[in-house]
């Protein structure tokens, strides 16, 4: 095994040096392997206060690379510190104030960058020296440095590590795009918190859903996702299909169960299973657009989730579970373990399938009408006119309409058919004929 070709040089840079690099677009705070910002404004204010008091700060790590004849510095570690400084100075969006005692002043006061400059004390920031370690090496070694450095403090989540290692993966880029698209939904439904999203948990969930829905089964999260990104085993066609199916499933869950946030099914493990199950129902041709059946499905889910919560309350109080509550205890066991493995996921899906599947009718496997049905209908219809607009039809331009739409369970049978012109049939869509 070859040794890493990493070299590094410690030095000090003033904040003014770093400001100049940033304004010349030579300081890159967002290299592909970086994670999202996780510092609060309070964290940022504490950093500025430390600088104003001339307290020492830990070193920042910069990856120096050549691009178009110039050196670019990608931030390996210290992104949050540099962001905080640049925000305070008004060089990045997100100006803020802090409460501190300035040197030579007795009182504690609120200050911002403008007030600091007005006092002619900006040198306390611009002249401050930060230890900086410039690192050279292959990008794979640089990423390993990034992961190792960020294994302490606010350590990287598994998804942040994947993002760092596989940020060029087409699969990961598509999952990230979809995760951003549904970020509002995940937060509104209570599936993920803002803090979890800042740690890329929404991207991890989207990756899981895309792989599971594409493969038609639950996955072992860590090994499956790492394998797919490492080998890039999803080609562009697979990625497109997985993305489309996942969007369909998420939209279907949102329409069928708009108040999911009122039940335990909005929790991450439950939501993953429910969404995958709905995707399987779609693939199996179940009709999921009937409002009456969807309301019934929702009522059953609410009743089930409430029973699971009641069993959980009994467990907290060390009260025994009744025999007729075994199914709720079994479900609870699948979500209360420290590791959500494949067997637990399959058991959880099986329980939810048993509640929901029988509610939904299956679409007719025959999508259109046969040539024989077309001839029979033409020759047995006395008035060969469009049933919608009354236009007289001829053999070459008539179509056959499903009176009860196929997408809503209508069968491709003569008793569910009617002559119609092409224009009316096209505009009718999946509505029932007036």
> In this structure, what are the phi and psi dihedrals at residue 273, rounded to the nearest 5 degrees?
-65, -45
Tell me the β-bridge partners of 72.
65
Task: For residues 237 and 329, state if they share a domain.
Answer: yes
Whether residue 1 lies inside any domain: the answer is no
Q: Point out the domain boundary residue: 118, 151, 184.
A: 151
Whether residue 433 lies inside any domain: the answer is no
Answer for the pair 77, 142: CB distance below 8 angstroms, yes or no.
Answer: no
Mean per-residue pLDDT for 193-220? 89
Q: In the chain, pLDDT over 70 holds for what percent of residues? A: 94
Q: Point out the domain boundary residue: 359, 382, 397.
A: 359
The answer on pLDDT for 111 being more than 70 is yes
For CA atoms 325, 327, 329, 335, give the dihedral sign: negative
Task: For residues 349 and 224, state if they share a domain.
Answer: yes
Instruction: Dump the DSSP string for 76-130.
Output: EE-HHHHHHHHHHTTSSS----EEE--TT--S-EEE-HHHHHHTT-THHHHT-EE
Task: For residues 194 and 88, state if they share a domain.
Answer: no
Whether residue 350 lies inside any domain: the answer is yes
* Bridge-based pairing state of the strands 98-100 and 109-111: antiparallel
Determine the pLDDT at residue 336: 80
Q: In the chain, pLDDT over 90 holds for what percent of residues? A: 48
Task: For residues 238 and 290, state if they share a domain.
Answer: yes
Q: Residues 6 or more apart from 159 whose CB is under 8 A from it?
A: 199, 200, 201, 203, 204, 207
Determine the pLDDT at residue 433: 57
Whether residue 289 lies inside any domain: the answer is yes
The answer on pLDDT for 162 being more than 60 is yes
Task: For residues 78 and 172, state if they share a domain.
Answer: no
Whether residue 292 lies inside any domain: the answer is yes
Residue 420 to residues 268, 274, 388, 403: CA-CA distances in angstroms? 48, 40, 7, 10
| Mean pLDDT of the residues in the chain | 87
Instruction: List the domain range (segments joined by +) for residue 256.
Output: 160-359
Whether residue 173 lies inside any domain: the answer is yes
Domain count, the chain: 3
Least confident of 155-164, 280-289, 305-314, 349-358: 155-164
Question: For 311-352, how does the pLDDT look when each residue is reduced to its tens digit (9 = 90+)?
Answer: 989 888 888 778 888 899 999 989 887 677 889 999 999 999
| Spatial separation of the C-alpha atoms in residues 22 and 35, rounded to whole Å | 19
Task: For residues 210 and 190, state if they share a domain.
Answer: yes
Task: For residues 307 and 165, state if they share a domain.
Answer: yes
Task: For residues 332 and 376, state if they share a domain.
Answer: no
Task: For residues 167 and 92, state if they share a domain.
Answer: no
More confident residue, 396 or 237: 237
* Residue 198: closest CA among 61, 107, 80, 331: 80
Cβ neighbours, 10 Å, residue 279: 22
Q: Point out the domain boundary residue: 151, 185, 220.
A: 151
Task: For residues 217 and 346, state if they share a domain.
Answer: yes
pLDDT tier for residue 8 given thresholds of 50, 70 and 90: confident
Task: For residues 402 and 328, state if they share a domain.
Answer: no
Mean per-residue pLDDT for 4-26? 90
Question: For 43-72, how does the pLDDT look when each residue is reduced to its tens digit (9 = 90+)?
Answer: 999 999 999 999 999 999 998 888 888 999
- The CATH number of whichever domain residue 378 belongs to comes to 1.10.30.50
Question: For 248-270, how does the pLDDT look when each residue is reduced to its tens digit (9 = 90+)?
Answer: 999 999 999 999 999 999 999 99
> In this structure, what are the phi and psi dihedrals at residue 67, rounded to the nearest 5 degrees?
-145, 120
Question: For 113-151, how does the pLDDT look when each residue is reduced to its tens digit (9 = 90+)?
Answer: 999 999 999 999 999 999 999 988 777 677 777 777 776
Determine the pLDDT at residue 1: 45
| Spatial separation of the C-alpha atoms in residues 375 and 417, rounded to whole Å | 12
Task: For residues 317 and 416, state if they share a domain.
Answer: no
More confident residue, 30 or 338: 30
| Spatial separation of the C-alpha atoms in residues 175 and 195, rounded to whole Å | 19
């Amino acid at each position: 095994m070859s040794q890493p070709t990493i070299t590094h040089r410690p030095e000090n840079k003033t904040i003014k040096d770093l400001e100049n690099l940033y304004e010349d677009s030579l300081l890159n705070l967002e290299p592909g392997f970086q994670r999202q910002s996780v510092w609060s404004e309070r964290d940022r204010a504490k950093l500025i206060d430390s600088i104003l008091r001339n307290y020492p700060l830990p070193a920042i790590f910069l990856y120096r690379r050549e691009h178009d004849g110039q050196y670019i510095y990608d931030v390996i570690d210290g992104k949050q510190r540099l962001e905080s400084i640049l925000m305070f100075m008004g060089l990045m969006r997100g100006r803020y104030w802090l409460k501190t005692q300035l040197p030579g002043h007795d009182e504690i006061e609120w200050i911002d960058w403008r007030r600091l400059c007005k006092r002619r004390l900006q040198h306390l920031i611009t002249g401050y020296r930060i230890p900086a370690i410039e690192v050279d090496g292959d990008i794979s070694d640089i990423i390993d440095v990034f992961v190792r450095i960020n294994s302490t403090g606010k350590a990287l989540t598994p998804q942040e590590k994947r993002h760092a290692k596989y940020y060029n993966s087409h699969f990961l880029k598509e999952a990230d795009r979809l995760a951003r698209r549904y970020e509002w939904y995940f937060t509104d439904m209570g599936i993920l918190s803002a803090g979890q999203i800042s740690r890329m948990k929404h991207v991890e969930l989207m990756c899981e859903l895309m792989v599971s829905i594409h493969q038609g089964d639950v996955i072992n999260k860590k090994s499956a996702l790492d394998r797919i990104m490492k080998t890039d085993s999803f080609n562009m066609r697979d990625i497109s299909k997985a993305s489309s199916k996942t969007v369909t499933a998420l939209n279907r869950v949102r329409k069928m169960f708009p108040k999911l946030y009122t039940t335990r099914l909005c929790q991450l493990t439950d939501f993953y299973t429910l969404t995958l199950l709905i995707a399987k129902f779609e693939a199996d041709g179940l009709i999921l657009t009937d409002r009456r059946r969807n309301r019934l499905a929702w009522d059953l889910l609410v009743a089930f989730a409430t029973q699971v919560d009641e069993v959980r309350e009994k467990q907290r109080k060390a009260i025994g579970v009744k025999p007729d509550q075994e199914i709720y205890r079994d479900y609870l066991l699948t979500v209360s373990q420290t590791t959500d493995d494949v067997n637990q996921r399959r058991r959880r899906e099986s329980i939810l399938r048993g509640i929901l599947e029988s509610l939904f009718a299956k679409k007719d496997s025959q999508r259109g009408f046969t040539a024989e049905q077309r001839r029979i209908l033409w020759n047995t219809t006395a008035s060969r006119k469009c049933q919608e607009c009354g236009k007289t039809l001829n053999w070459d331009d008539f179509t056959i309409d499903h009176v009860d739409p196929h997408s809503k369970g209508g069968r491709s049978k003569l008793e569910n058919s009617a002559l119609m012109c092409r224009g009316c049939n096209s505009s009718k869509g999946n509505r029932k004929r007036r």
